[in-house]
Structure 1
Amino acid sequence: MSAPDGTARAITLVILAGGRGTRFGGAKQLEPVGPAGEALLDYTIRDASTTGFSRTVIVARSDIDDAIRSHVSRMHPDADITVVCQDRHGPHRDKPWGTAHALLAAAETIPGPFATANADDYYGAGSLALLAPLLSITDAGSSDWFLVAFPITGTLSASGPVSRGVCQLDDDGQLVRVTEERVQLSPRGTIQTVDGTEVRPDTLVSMNLWGLAPPVFDCLASGFDPFAAAHLHDGEEYRLPDEIARLLSAGRAGVRVVRSDAPWAGITHRADLPGLRRFLAELDRTRPG
């Protein structure tokens, strides 16, 4: 549902930065990858500010809270940035509760339409520019949402298998579900799951670049307490794609999938860093101004 008066709304970017980076071996949220020591989230904050987002909320962990605050205040002194800690919400568990819980932890800071983004992904201004105009005319009470999805061929790592959310769409381009798969390049150069099933290179995958509105919070809140009670000790994650799929199947929301052909980059393995740094150096070299 669009804003009833047709006016543009202020929109927020929510960066999910609470993961532990187990496969990477450290806090990749702040790993310096740009020529001036930028982390990937710095590129996303900058691109968001140039494409129509008015503020940023970063969901972090208590043990990196001070480091995140210090970093963003130095890199973005004039930006409107709020930092919240995921582990201060809900019952304590050593392993973070997952992306749906991270978003729920930020609920009180988000009054209107918003986008989500991973701290360890580079989406580019082109991808954020697909979401911003849609969100700016979306009513705060809307349950008609968006997902920017990428062709899987541009989201793989030469360093090993990666987890990707494979999108299933209906004939109208609406999301049916997102199924997480471990995928990799085969020795023949094809894309396949780790069990050997081939995947088409134009298959669309979610990289958590969602466009949502506040009604999602009540839905996430109603599901989290029973999930937490059932999984306090087993490490299962309360994942945003799973919860949105549950809402879709119940007819409580709709998600329009928007394809982005903008370059994507990210960090899964530490071996990804040299290629990522070359990509960002070239990006900065060719950026206008």
Structure 2
Amino acid sequence: MKPTLLILAAGMASRYGSMKQIDGFGPNGETIIDYSIYDAIKAGFGKVVFIIKEEFVENFKSIFDAKLQGKIETDYVFQNFDLKQFGIEEEIYREKPWGTAHAILSGRKVIKEPFCVINADDFYGFDAYKKMVAFLNEEATDSNFSIIGYQIGKTLSDFGAVSRGVCKVDGNGNLEEIVERTKIYQDGDAIVYEEYDTKHPLAYETPVSMNFWGFTPAVFKVTEDLFREFALANKDKPKAEFFIPLIGENLVKSNTAAFKVVPTSNQWFGVTYKEDKPFVQASIDQLIKDGAYPEKLWS
């Protein structure tokens, strides 16, 4: 059974100012998701599942259904605020969705095979999909997961600070620790992150998570248990977010599962800020000129 691609596309994109998940970046209006799915099909994925807000389902279907028909199986699931499905009867007020780790729970009823998770607004490059398919087909077990590790120096924005899960890797290439740093940026010739108004340096090659994770369906039960604890512990913090790295950190520290950090030297790019768009468009144009993609992606 071929692995599944789970795309996180329910975010609010507050810094970007519009629905960047379906904004056009390619020469024929292709979204970043189009390039992700193109690479995933080429690498050997058999299904794509979109996690979206229910009110946007017709938008997504109008963009993707026709072009993907006959190329890859598609499905849509919705991230919502209903806590009763997790056995939480208490009403908890939220200003925004619960975060990426909560989002992947939306796929638990339709995914029965090894799968990977990506962000809708991140361009990862074919190498990452190829390596992830190899891992999911050959190495993934219910206690052996993976994460694609990007070099921090190849994941920054020129227009503001970014959040990254900074990885510490052991001698066997497995994740030892992952810490979400919410303010990383270029500071002169150095790369730094800020914590409590203090700057800390990061080496250019430091591996970071760009939310490209490989799992088996066993992760859903673990995540559901962790989310229930997180939601109740943070019921008075309406902006607290349940990030995927929290799953990794918990499983690693409890010795429940290992995470192989699969390195890639690919250049990542994405659209955190509106000002990132021209760079993304130019990067895609260059990849087309280099022969990585056809000018018309879905012919």
What is the TM-score of this pair, normalised by structure 1?
A: 0.91
CA offset digits 1:204-234 (Å, max 9, x no partner): 1000111111111110111222322333452
Change (3 A) 1:42 1:232: farther
Q: What is the distance in 1 between the residues matched to 2:242 and 2:106?
A: 12
Match of 2:147 in 1: 147
Match of 2:47 in 1: 55
Letter in 2 for 1:244: G
Letter in 1 for 2:226: G
Match of 2:253 in 1: 249
- Is residue 2:165 matched to residue 1:165? yes
Counterpart pick for 1:71 among 26, 40, 63: 63
What is the TM-score of this pair, normalised by structure 2?
A: 0.88
CA offset digits 1:138-197 (Å, max 9, x no partner): 46x5220111111111000111111111101122211022111111111x2221113322
Match of 1:137 in 2: 138
Match of 1:238 in 2: 242
For residue 5 of structure 2, give the secondary structure of its aligned residue in structure 1. strand
Match of 2:192 in 1: 192
Maintained 8 Å contact 2:117/2:212? yes
Maintained 8 Å contact 1:165/1:207? yes
Q: How many residues align?
A: 279
Superposed CA RMSD = 1.7
Q: What is the distance in 2 between the residues matched to 1:105 and 1:89?
A: 11
- Is residue 2:202 matched to residue 1:205? no
Alignment of 1:27-46 (within 5 A): 27-46=19-38
Match of 2:277 in 1: 273
Match of 1:4 in 2: none
Maintained 8 Å contact 2:166/2:207? yes
Change (3 A) 1:136 1:89: farther
Structure 2 residues without counterparts, runs of 5 or longer: 85-92, 295-299
Structure 1 window deviating more from structure 2 (220-229 vs 100-109): it is 220-229
Match of 1:222 in 2: 225
Q: CA deviation at 1:80?
A: 0.9
Q: What is the distance in 2 between the residues matched to 1:105 and 1:230?
A: 21
Maintained 8 Å contact 1:151/1:261? yes
Maintained 8 Å contact 1:89/1:105? no
Maintained 8 Å contact 1:42/1:75? no
Q: What is the distance in 2 between the residues matched to 1:258 and 1:216?
A: 19
Q: What is the distance in 1 between the residues matched to 2:224 and 2:242?
A: 11
Letter in 1 for 2:113: G
CA offset digits 1:236-259 (Å, max 9, x no partner): 111111122111111111101110
Q: Percent identity?
A: 32
Letter in 1 for 2:106: A
Match of 1:90 in 2: 83
Q: What is the distance in 2 between the residues matched to 1:217 and 1:108?
A: 10
Q: CA deviation at 1:94?
A: 4.2
CA offset digits 1:110-162 (Å, max 9, x no partner): 111111111010011111101101111346x5220111111111000111111
For residue 51 of structure 2, give the secondary structure of its aligned residue in structure 1. strand
CA offset digits 1:55-94 (Å, max 9, x no partner): 1111111232221121111432333111111116536844
For residue 132 of structure 1, give the secondary structure of its aligned residue in structure 2. helix
Letter in 1 for 2:204: P
Regions of 4+ moved over 4 Å = none
